[in-house]
Structure 1
Amino acid sequence: MYYQKLINLQAQKSSNNIGLNTLNYLKKLRGELPLFKLVDQDNDIATIASLAAEIKSNFKDVIILGTGGSSLGGQSLYALTTAGAPRLHFHDNVDPDTFLKLFTAIDPKTAKVIAISKSGNTAETLMQLLVCLQHWQQQELEIKNHFLIITEPHENAIREVAVRHECQTLDHPTDVGGRFAVFSLVGLLPAIICGLDAHKIRAGARYVLDEISNTTEPEDCKPLLGALLQKALLSHDINQSVLMPYVDRLAVFAMWYRQLWAESIGKDGKGTTPIRAIGTVDQHSQLQLYLDGPKDKFFTVVTMEHSDNQLKVGDHDFEHSTLTIFKSKTMGQLMQAEQQATIDTLVNNNCPTRVLHLNKLDEEVMGALMMHYVVETLAMAHLLEVNPFDQPAVEESKLLTRHYLQQG
Structure 2
Amino acid sequence: MKISLNYSGNYSNLLSPELKLKIQTIHDGIYTKTGIGSDYLGWIDWPSSISQDWLKNLNDTAKDIRDKSNVLVVIGIGGSYLGAKAVLEALSKNFQPFKKLEVIFAGHLVSGTYLKQLMQYLDSKEVTINVISKSGTTTEPAIASRFLIQYMEKRYGEQASSRIIVTTDGKKGALRSLAIAKGYKRLVVPEDIGGRYSVFTAVGLLPFVAAGYDIEELLLGAKIAQQEFQIVDVENNPAIQYAIIRKNLYDSGYPVEILATFDDKLKYVQEWWKQLFGESEGKDGKGIFPTSVLYSTDLHSLGQYIQDGKRMLFETFLLVDKVDEDLTIVESFQNGDDLNYLSGLSLHEFNHVCYEATSIAHLQGGVPQIAITIDQLDERHLGHLLYFFMIACAYSAYLLDINPFDQPGVEEYKMNIFKFLKKPGYC
- With the length of structure 1 as denominator, give the TM-score of the two structures: 0.93
| 1: CA distance, partners of 2:148 / 2:195 | 23
Give the secondary-structure state (helix, strand or coil) at the position aligned to 1:40. helix
2:226 maps to: 209
Structure 2 equivalent of residue 398 of structure 1: 414
SS in 2 for 1:151: strand
**1:39 maps to which residue?**
47
Q: What's the CA shift string for 1:35-85, capped at 9, x where partnerless? A: 122111231222211111111222100000000000000111112134433
Distance 1:28 1:236, change over 3 A: closer
Q: Secondary structure at the match of 1:182?
A: coil
1:223-280, Cα deviation, whole Å (9 max, x unpaired) = 1111111211123210011111222221101110100101111111111100121122
C-alpha change, 1:317 and 1:244, in structure 2 (3 Å) is same
In structure 2, how many angstroms separate the alpha carbons of the residues matched to 1:150 and 1:308?
Answer: 34
SS in 2 for 1:36: coil
Question: Would you say the 8 A contact 1:150–1:169 is kept in 2?
Answer: yes
Task: Tell me the distance in 2 between the aligned counterparts of 1:27 and 1:331.
Answer: 45
SS at match of 2:314: strand
Give a deviation string over 1:126-150, Cα, whole Å, max 9, x none: 1010011222233243320221111
- Which stretch of the first structure deviates more once superposed, 304-313 or 182-191? 304-313
The 5 A counterparts of 1:164-243 are: 164-215=181-232, 217-243=233-259
Asked if structure 2 preserves the Cα contact closer than 8 Å seen for 1:308 and 1:332, the reply is no
Q: Which moved more, 1:7-16 or 1:385-394?
A: 7-16
Quick check: 39-48 or 304-313, which moved more?
Answer: 304-313
Check 1:315–1:117 CA distance in 2 against 1; reply closer, same or farther (3 A cut). Answer: same
**Which shifted more, 332-341 or 308-317?**
308-317
Name the SS of the counterpart of 1:125 in structure 2: helix
Paired residue secondary structure (2:129): strand
Q: In 2, distance between residues paired with 1:290 and 1:180?
A: 30
Match of 1:5 in 2: 6
Structure 1: distance between partners of 2:55 and 2:104: 22
Q: How does 1:3-152 map to 2 (within 5 A)?
A: 3-8=4-9, 13-30=14-31, 32=33, 33-43=41-51, 44-79=54-89, 80-82=91-93, 83-91=98-106, 92-107=108-123, 110-141=126-157, 142-152=159-169
CA-CA distance at 1:112 after TM superposition: 0.6
Q: Where do 4+ consecutive residues of structure 1 move more than 6 Å? A: none
Q: Is the 1:306–1:333 Cα contact (8 Å) retained in structure 2?
A: no
Aligned amino acid, residue 238 of structure 2: K
Separation in 1, partners of 2:180, 2:102: 27
Is contact 1:314-1:327 (8 Å) kept?
yes
CA distance in 2, matches of 1:12, 1:102: 54
Question: Is the Cα contact below 8 Å between 1:116 and 1:151 reproduced in 2?
Answer: yes
Say if 1:309 and 1:332, in contact at 8 Å, map to a contact too.
Answer: no
- Whether the 8 Å CA contact 2:326–2:348 is kept in 1: the answer is no
Classify 1:140/1:39 alpha carbon distance in 2 versus 1 (closer, same or farther; 3 Å): closer
1:239-250 to structure 2, matched below 5 A, reads: 239-250=255-266
Work out whether 1:375 is the aligned partner of 2:391: yes
Q: Distance in 2 between matches of 1:253 and 1:124?
A: 22
Equivalent AA in structure 2 for residue 90 of structure 1:
F
The 1:139–1:351 alpha-carbon spacing in structure 2 relative to 1, beyond 3 Å, is: same
In structure 1, distance between residues paired with 2:315 and 2:190: 34
Q: CA deviation at 1:359?
A: 1.9
Answer whether contact 1:64 1:89 (CA < 8 A) is retained: yes
Contact 1:69 1:182 in 2 (8 A): yes
Q: Which runs of 5+ in 2 are unaligned?
A: 34-40
What is the DSSP-based 3-state SS (H/G/I as helix, E as strand, rest coil) of the residue aligned with 1:154? coil
Aligned length: 407
Write out per-residue CA displacement over residues 291-340 of structure 1, whole angstroms, 9 at most, x where no aligned residue: 10111112110112356665234332233354333434333232222222
**Does 200-209 or 46-55 show the bigger shift?**
200-209
TM-score, structure 2 as length reference: 0.89
Question: Aligned match of 2:304 in 288, 297, 300?
Answer: 288
Cα distance per residue 1:343-400 (max 9 Å; x no partner): 2222232311011112211111111111111111111111111111111122221122
Seen in structure 2, the aligned counterparts of structure 1 residues 303 and 212 have a Cα distance that, compared at 3 Å, is closer
Preserved CA contact (<8 Å) 1:23 1:218? no
Name the % identity.
Answer: 24
8 Å contact 2:200–2:219 — kept in the other structure? yes
Post-superposition offset of 1:109: 5.8
CA RMSD of aligned residues (A): 2.3
Q: Which residues of structure 1 form unaligned runs of 5+?
A: none
In structure 1, what residue type is equivalent to 2:7? Answer: L
